Structure 1
Amino acid sequence: MKINMNDFVLHPPFNITRASHVVLNVRDLDASKHFYTELVGLAVSDEDASAVYLRGMEENCHHSLVLRKSGEATCSRIGLRVQTADDIYAMQAYFEAQGIASSLVDVPFQGPTLHVSDSVGMPLEFCASMEFRPRLMKEYHLYRGAAAQRLDHYQIQSNDVRRSFEFYQPLGFRLSEYTFSKREDGGDNLWGVWLQRKGNPHDIVFTNGFGPRLHHFAYTLPDTNDMIRACDVAGALGYGPRLERGPGRHGISGALFVYFRDPDGHRIELFNTHYQNIDLEPAQAWDLSNPKRADQWGMPAQNKWFAEATQFSGVEPVEPTLKVDPPTLERLLQIEAG
């Protein structure tokens, strides 16, 4: 498959602006709140007995993470912002013309909101506005843990990456990077796509896997020192065993990263240092056999990195169309031991 700029819709009938918020179901609301405020460093905008609404230190939107008390550890929806309420109604008309069911809903602290599911069944929530809260990025005396600044992107395990790409490309998402492998017939298999609306490498990523499932969501940090501080704070608070991967540097996006699992196993990435992707430039292709696509240095990820992810509420994941034996840490240790 050859991907070039002519494949992109640069002027869709509505304007999706960025990744907005994620809604997680958690079993112990107090334990999850402690993790996200004391380790990740998010600020509480509102809370009650059933939910906690959090935001990053530079965000003036009401929330980028919603924790809802539940008997299951799942993800309700991922959220995307659009520019205006008119975009919500244009999007509703678009999905209706495509034969895709959608519904306008009332959501606390949000303006007009549209619910819809994508081509692999992932539940989405588009909103045009939220209540405002003050930015706290210069209130340094309030910084805790990693002092996460803002929500940046999601990574989704999709059972059919090509099908996911074909759903989001007409919505105006641009491809920044992708992974592929050659087939025996000379064609290409598509293993992962990095899609963006806000001018950096990704707002949403789809990688091949048992899905749809939420692999992780990611917050930016002020600088690299905050990443190390997050690891130190994790150790001090007893979250050390929840550090799953890193610190390291990705090949794709070039970000410095560290990954944690929260008390329910939801995965969060804390990162900084990726690049702008604003001009109409060709997407960067990575052959699946290139080990530097995942890590520029350091050890490969554990098997659970590839096998474990958060299910979406009421959505049964299915096996992927493509199969691969990933280059895990366990495989590397077996090879070296042999």
Structure 2
Amino acid sequence: MLPPVNLRPSFNITRSSHVRLTVADLAESRNFYVKALGLVVSDEDERTCYLRGLAEACHHSLVLELDEEGAGSCRRVGYRVFFDEDLDLAYAWFRERGLPAEWVDAPYQGRTLHVSDPIGTPLELCAHMETRPRLHIDFASYKGAHAQRLDHYQIFAPDTYELCAFYSELGFRNSEYLEHGDKLLGAFMYRKGTCLDLAIVENTGPALHHFAYTVSESRDIFTACDWAGLLGYGDGVERGPGRHGPGGMLFVYLRDPDGHRVEVFNSHYQTIDTEIEPVRWDAASLSTNARWGLPALEKWYFEASPFVDAPLIPPAELPKPMSLERFLLEQSAP
């Protein structure tokens, strides 16, 4: 059973927008995202690199921040709100609930608000960014997997239902969800009218499991793998290429030089209309593949990028997914 959704929330979050990661070697990470994924550098200096997908007009969807000691963490995940006034409404909404809310200055963005959800996931809200020309038909500039746009994040949370209820109050709807009996283990939530902006999966959190970019052609998923191999990150092709059950998209998961997990996939179906009901998946019979493909390695289910200064909270009971290691063990049992 899913929590009720507020279809007229107090302020209007429109989509997932950007993610801020810490990295140990800025040049190496830049090389990975430009050459393997095909992102475009909007601006950079000695300590920060701002990147966007080929179809993105807004200044950045990925920010790499040099941090030699704290590399491998996520600083914040970002969401866009529709109007500047939504930021003022959000500030009041979070403060009324005793949750952190602080105004900050962020380069290339308009007014920016830092808030946290109830488990301590650090969020960044803004209504505006500087823009750059879209490069989606500038084929001469294409590199790597030709990543088009940031699509979604997946977050680990110690209680999926409780966090799903929080984001449901903010107007996030579920396209699909994962249950074991009546226990909600995974919630696939959206604001922009496709089936994902935020996935919540029960595990020790808050932590960033992955962020995902779309590609226009299915073959670009294999191109991401080829370029990862050419750059020396072949072992970081962690899962896939394959096809998901939830969402139904083709995908591959890669680990970047600092261990951050990024997904490359071939887009989603639409979910704009209010009469569309979320699809339930039974966790007992699901490895998140659709009909074919082996389960993921155990580390795919449990490893994630921690958030800076956010204490980790374990769930009441750790999930026991069908990992590749478990699958092979059961297959070899007499």
TM-score, scaled to structure 1:
0.95
Which residue does the alignment assign to 2:43? 46
**Alpha-carbon separation, structure 2, partners of 1:113 and 1:8:** 26
Which of the numbers 314, 318, 331 marks the counterpart of 2:313? 318
Contact 2:32 2:231 in 1 (8 A): no
Structure 1 window deviating more from structure 2 (303-312 vs 290-299): it is 290-299
- The alignment yields a C-alpha RMSD, in angstroms, of 1.2
Give the 5 Å matches for 1:1-338.
1=1, 3=2, 7-70=4-67, 71-72=69-70, 73-182=72-181, 188-280=182-274, 281-291=276-286, 293-338=288-333
SS at match of 1:289: helix
Per-residue deviation, 1:321: 2.3
- Residues 235-270 of structure 1 show CA distances to partners (whole Å, capped at 9, x for unaligned) of 222221110000000000111000000000000000
Q: Letter of the aligned partner of 1:250 in structure 2? A: H
Per-residue deviation, 1:293: 4.0
Extract structure 1 runs of 4+ deviating beyond 6 A: none
Paired residue total = 330
Per-residue deviation, 1:292: 6.0
SS at match of 1:175: strand
SS at match of 2:21: strand
Per-residue deviation, 1:123: 0.4
SS at match of 1:313: coil
Unaligned runs of 5+ in 2: none
Contact 1:161 1:208 in 2 (8 A): yes
Unaligned runs of 5+ in 1: 183-187
Contact 1:208 1:320 in 2 (8 A): yes
Q: Letter of the aligned partner of 2:222 in structure 1? A: I
**Alpha-carbon separation, structure 2, partners of 1:91 and 1:225:** 41
SS at match of 1:306: helix
**Alpha-carbon separation, structure 2, partners of 1:292 and 1:214:** 20
Q: Letter of the aligned partner of 2:64 in structure 1? A: L
Q: 1:292 to 1:275 in 2, by over 3 A?
A: farther
Identity of aligned residues (%): 49
TM-score, scaled to structure 2:
0.96
